[in-house]
């Protein structure tokens, strides 16, 4: 089977983390999302991978090259991001049989994809508490009878998880008209396909859609929590390392530091004297945690340094940020008990009781800066010493 991976989107809800890279190139456990998807697809039985690229697509091509595992990788260009059906249509010339379609920004377990592939034609679904916010899958016994977009009265609690296996005939059904939101959508292709084919709903658990910064944190939390203790780097005799902690070769944990797993300290990263790192946390390559700093439940992308006595919790820090000494990222919650973040101009609840900040690449904070919960700082932003940032600049 061929697997088409959609990786052309702009990832606007993930900004500023997608200012300089496409969303599928954001890392989960140090490996880009799109590579996780491609590897899961190949281990589930895909014999060929076609990646649809667009926004910053060269980065995807450079990273995946011409193969993943035993499967060759080909690329299709989607010039304008006009929707998921349009994206698959861009790959049409490569398609010559039944084909799977997967999102390049989702986390799929290989077992779940294997079940999806075995049940072809099929659609992955998951159960949610409030189906009326999603695309709801209507079933008629064993097969799908319709897909309804955000219905007021959902016929089931099964919602579309955005992964499909289409029959070969779907290749000719990709030219759907624009939906109400102005996109050409795969859900409309599926609604055509079910007229002629029995499509099986396959319920998958453990599926994550990584569309917004706190979802990247969640995906990394899960990844880091699955690692087993491996101390390959330089851990000082007087450091305390408890639980499932991975210290990769070339990483170091200094005297008096405490690392409480699950934590992954990638190669070249250093945890300074007396610093505390609590999991689930990912310290990317060449990150530096200063003397007596505290980091908890966060993702630090490569090259980022946290100054002496700083405190960072529940946060996502882009690449090459420098936090001045005694920077504090507050992680409290709003009045309704969860933290909200501004996404494309709207306040959106993260549904997390605690959430800190999102920093674009290259952010530098002055000493004693305080960042309030839910703040996002754009790429290359700087703050003066001793300021308190309560709203996105
Ligand atoms: P979305 O997450 O809906 O879109 P996006 O990635 O552009 O992000 P945002 O809404 O934040 O701007 O897309 C779902 C998947 O489909 C994702 O993997 C990107 C991919 N996609 C394309 O490849 N081409 C497209 O035209 C669209 C809309 C999405």
Domain ranges of the chain: 2-209, 218-389
CATH classification code of 218-389? 2.160.10.10
- Determine the length of the chain: 393
Task: Flag whether pLDDT at 190 surpasses 90.
Answer: yes
> What pLDDT shows up at residue 90?
97
Q: What is the mean pLDDT of residues 94-106?
A: 96
Q: Is the peptide bond before 121 cis (omega within 30 degrees of 0)?
A: yes
Q: Is the dihedral of CA 156, 161, 167, 171 positive or negative?
A: positive
Residue 32 CA, ligand 1 centroid: distance in Å: 16
pLDDT tens for residues 256-278? 999 999 999 999 999 999 999 99
Q: Which helix (H) or strand (E) holds 85?
A: helix 84-90
Measured at the CA of 206, the angle between CA 203 and CA 207, to 5 degrees, comes to: 75
Whether the CB of 9 sits within 6 Å of ligand 1: yes
- The Cα–Cα gap between 262 and 242 comes to 9
pLDDT in tens, 38-79: 999 999 999 999 999 999 999 999 999 999 999 999 999 999
| Spatial distance between the Cα atoms of 362 and 343, rounded to a whole number of angstroms | 20
* Residue showing tokens 């109400």: 180
Count CA within 13 A, CB hemisphere, residue 80.
Answer: 4
**Burial letters 177-198, b for 16+ CB under 10 A, else e:** eeeeeebbbbbbbbbebbeebe
255 pLDDT exceeds 70? yes
* CA gap 356, 341 in Å, rounded: 10
Model pLDDT, residue 86: 96
Q: What's the CA-to-centroid distance between 51 and ligand 1, angstroms?
A: 13
Tokens of 363: 């952010």
10 with 92: CB under 8 angstroms? no
Q: Mean pLDDT check: name the lowest of 48-57, 95-104, 126-135, 373-382.
A: 126-135
Q: Residue with the nearest Cα to atom 1 of ligand 1?
A: 9
How far is 265 from 4, CA to CA, in rounded Å? 33
Mean pLDDT computed over 115-123: 96
Q: For ligand 1, is residue 82 a contact (CB within 6 Å)?
A: yes
Contact assessment for residue 232 and residue 137, using Cβ atoms and an 8 Å cutoff: no
Closest to 5 measured CA to CA, from 62, 84, 93: 84
Instruction: Give pLDDT tens digits for 191-241.
Output: 999 998 999 999 998 889 999 999 999 999 999 999 999 999 999 999 999
Q: What's the pLDDT at 207?
A: 87
Measured distance CA(287)–CA(175) in Å, rounded: 47
**What span, in angstroms and rounded, lies between the C-alpha atoms of 292 and 294?**
7
pLDDT for position 218: 96
Interval between CA 367 and ligand 1 midpoint (Å): 38
Please give the CATH topology (third level) of the domain spanning 2-209: Spore Coat Polysaccharide Biosynthesis Protein SpsA; Chain A (3.90.550)
Q: Which helix (H) or strand (E) holds 216?
A: helix 213-225
Return the pLDDT at 336. Answer: 66
> Confidence band (pLDDT; 50, 70, 90) for 332?
confident
Per-residue pLDDT band at 134 (split at 50, 70, 90): confident
Q: Is the CB of 78 under 6 A from ligand 1?
A: yes
d(CA 320, CA 173): 45
Distance CA 110, CA 252 (A): 33
Q: How far apart, in Å, are the Cα atoms of 71 and each of 39, 43, 101?
A: 9, 10, 16
Q: Is the CB of 213 under 6 A from ligand 1?
A: no
pLDDT at 297 over 70: yes
Ligand 1 within 6 A of CB of 73? no
Q: 2-209 with 218-389: one CATH topology?
A: no
Pocket of ligand 1 contains residue 348 by CB under 6 Å: no
Q: Are strands 340-343 and 346-349 parallel, antiparallel or unpaired?
A: antiparallel
What's the chain's average pLDDT? 95
326 lines ligand 1 (CB under 6 A): no
How large is the average pLDDT for residues 290-301? 98
Q: What is the DSSP letter of 99?
A: E
pLDDT of residue 333: 67
How far, in Å, CA of 123 to CA of 131, rounded?
16
Query: Ligand 1 centre and the CA of 54: distance in Å?
Result: 10
């Amino acid at each position: 089977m061929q697997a088409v991976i959609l990786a052309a989107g702009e990832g606007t809800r993930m900004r500023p983390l997608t200012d300089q890279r496409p969303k599928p190139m954001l890392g989960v456990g140090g490996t880009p999302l799109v590579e996780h998807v491609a590897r899961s697809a190949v281990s589930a039985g895909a014999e060929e991978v076609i990646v649809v690229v667009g926004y910053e697509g060269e980065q995807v091509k450079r990273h995946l090259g011409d193969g993943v595992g035993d499967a060759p990788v080909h690329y299709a260009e989607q010039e304008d991001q006009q929707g998921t059906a349009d994206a698959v249509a861009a790959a049409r010339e490569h398609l010559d049989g039944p084909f799977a379609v997967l999102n390049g920004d989702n986390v799929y377990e290989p077992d779940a994809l294997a079940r999806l592939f075995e049940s072809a034609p099929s659609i992955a679904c998951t159960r949610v508490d409030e189906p009326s916010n999603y695309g709801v899958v209507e079933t008629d016994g064993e097969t799908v009878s319709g897909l309804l977009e955000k219905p007021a009265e959902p016929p089931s609690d099964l919602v579309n998880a955005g992964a499909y296996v289409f029959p070969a005939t779907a290749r000719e059904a990709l030219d759907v008209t624009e939906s109400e939101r102005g996109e050409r959508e795969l859900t409309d292709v599926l609604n055509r396909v079910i007229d002629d084919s029995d499509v099986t709903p396959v319920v998958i658990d453990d599926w994550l859609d990584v569309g917004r910064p706190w979802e990247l944190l969640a995906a990394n939390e899960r990844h880091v929590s699955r690692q087993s203790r491996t101390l390959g780097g330089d851990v000082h005799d007087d450091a305390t390392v408890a639980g499932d902690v991975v210290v990769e070769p070339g990483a170091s944990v200094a005297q008096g530091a405490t690392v409480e797993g699950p934590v992954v300290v990638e190669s070249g990263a250093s945890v300074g004297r007396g610093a505390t790192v609590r999991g689930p946390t990912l310290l990317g390559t060449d990150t530096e945690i200063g003397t007596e700093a505290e980091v908890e439940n966060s993702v630090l992308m490569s090259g980022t340094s946290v100054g002496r006595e700083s405190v960072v919790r529940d946060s996502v820090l882009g690449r090459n940020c420098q936090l001045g000494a005694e920077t504090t990222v507050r992680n409290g919650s709003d009045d309704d008990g969860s933290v909200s973040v501004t996404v494309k101009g709207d306040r959106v609840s993260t549904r997390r009781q605690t959430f800190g900040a999102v920093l674009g690449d290259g952010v530098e904070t002055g000493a004693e800066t305080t960042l309030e919960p839910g703040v996002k700082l754009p790429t290359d932003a700087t703050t003066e010493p001793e300021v308190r940032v309560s709203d996105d600049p």
